[in-house]
Amino acid sequence: MPLYPDVPAFRMFLDMGDRGDVHEYYRGHLSFDRATYVKGPGGKLLRLVKCPELDEIADLAYEAASAETVLLVQCRIRRNVWAYNAVKL
């Protein structure tokens, strides 16, 4: 798995993958690695994106799952590290 998510490869998988194909779109801890929240003026929470590519690929995966074109599966590798897979439906 590359250090940074490969958005074009994931888009190609979504467009051209066959039923049953599996694509690991991220390995790590998605919710922690994707963004962090800090208090801004007036105590308002501000979302700071750590990695725009990860943010984009996470949104694409969620949208594809919502459209029922993929099933999202997580596999724990070790503490705080998961493999995030999309299975084409």
pLDDT one-digit tens code per residue, 34-86 = 888 888 888 888 888 888 899 999 999 999 999 999 999 999 999 989 999 99
Beta strand 22-28 pairing with 35-39: unpaired
**pLDDT on residue 1:** 43
Task: Report the SS3 class of residue 83.
Answer: strand
Q: How confident is the model at residue 31 (pLDDT cuts 50, 70, 90)?
A: confident
Indicate the pTM of the whole model.
0.84
* Cα distances (angstroms) measured from residue 66 to each of 16, 61, 62, 69: 18, 9, 6, 8
- Among the listed residues 7, 37, 3, 33, the one whose alpha carbon sits nearest the alpha carbon of residue 64: 7
